[in-house]
Amino acid sequence: MIVEVIHPGLPNVPIEDLKTKLAAKYKTDAKNVIVYGLRTAFGGGRSQGFCLIYDNFDYLMKYSPKFRLRRLKVIEDRHGNRKQRKELKTKRSKVRGTKKNKIQAGKKK
């Protein structure tokens, strides 16, 4: 749903406050509410954004995209950068069997 917040005298509104207020209004837990994409209107005092409210935490985990779950710190971030992951994948493709588990990322010493 689209959320419009009027906040005169404040530069913007914390997302955690919006989560708790929306959870109270729709009688759900605050961890089942996702608020994102808030943009403050020119001149301040009004913001618009998006909100997703799930029935329970399992539905949130099932239907939300992974990037959004990582932003919310629900699931852990990936380790290493993209180039390291791709180099590790190519190294592992060149060996067979259980030796794939022994190959690690990084430079040869």
Question: Among the listed ranges 17-21, 45-49, 61-65, 74-78, which one has the minimum average pLDDT value?
Answer: 74-78
CA–CA dist 47, 38 (Å, integer): 6
Percent of the chain with pLDDT over 70: 96
Q: Which residues contact 6 (CB under 8 A, 6 or more apart)?
A: 45, 46
Confidence of residue 106 (pLDDT cuts 50, 70, 90): low
Report the pLDDT value the prediction gives residue 79, as an integer from 0 to 100: 81
Q: What is the pTM of this model?
A: 0.72
Report the pLDDT value the prediction gives residue 108, as an integer from 0 to 100: 60
Report the pLDDT value the prediction gives residue 101, as an integer from 0 to 100: 85
Report the pLDDT value the prediction gives residue 103, as an integer from 0 to 100: 84
